[in-house]
Amino acid sequence: MNESSISAGDLRIRERLANERTYLAWLRTSLAMMAFGLGAAKFGSHNEVYAFSAGGVLVCAAIAGFGYATVRYRALNQEVTRGRVVIGSSTHGPIAAAMVLVFAAFIALILLVR
C-alpha cells in the first residue's frame, strides 16, 4: 500500500496510536521516577531528612510529569479528532517537562549524596 492510497481515517488511527504510545512512555517514566523516589525515601542516605526530601522531590516531579502527560494526551486527541494538529507540532512543552524531570533527579541525587 503506497502513501497516496492511505485514507484520512487511517491517518487519524495512526496519529491516535502514536499519541497513545507517547502517553504510555510518559506514564512509564513517571512511574519509574515515583518508584525511585519512594525507594530513596525509604532506603536513602543515613540522614532521614535528606532521604525523605529527595524522595519527595522525585514523587512530586513524577506527579507533575503524569499530569502534564495526561493533559497533553487529551488535548492532542481532541486535535486529531478535529483533523488539525497544533500541539503535536511544538516541542517546547515536552522539552520543558523532560528538563523538570532531569532537574528533579539531579536535586534528589545531591540530597542523597549529602
**Consecutive 10-residue averages of pLDDT for the chain (114 residues):** 62 88 94 92 82 92 94 91 77 89 92 84
From the number of C-beta atoms within 10 Å of its C-beta (0-12, 13-18, 19+), residue 69 rates as buried
Q: CA 62, 23, 75: angle at the middle one, nearest 5?
A: 105
pLDDT at 20: 94
Cα–Cα distance measured from residue 66 to residue 42, given in angstroms and rounded to the nearest whole number: 22
Asked if residue 89 lies in contact with residue 97, where contact means CB atoms within 8 angstroms, the answer is: no
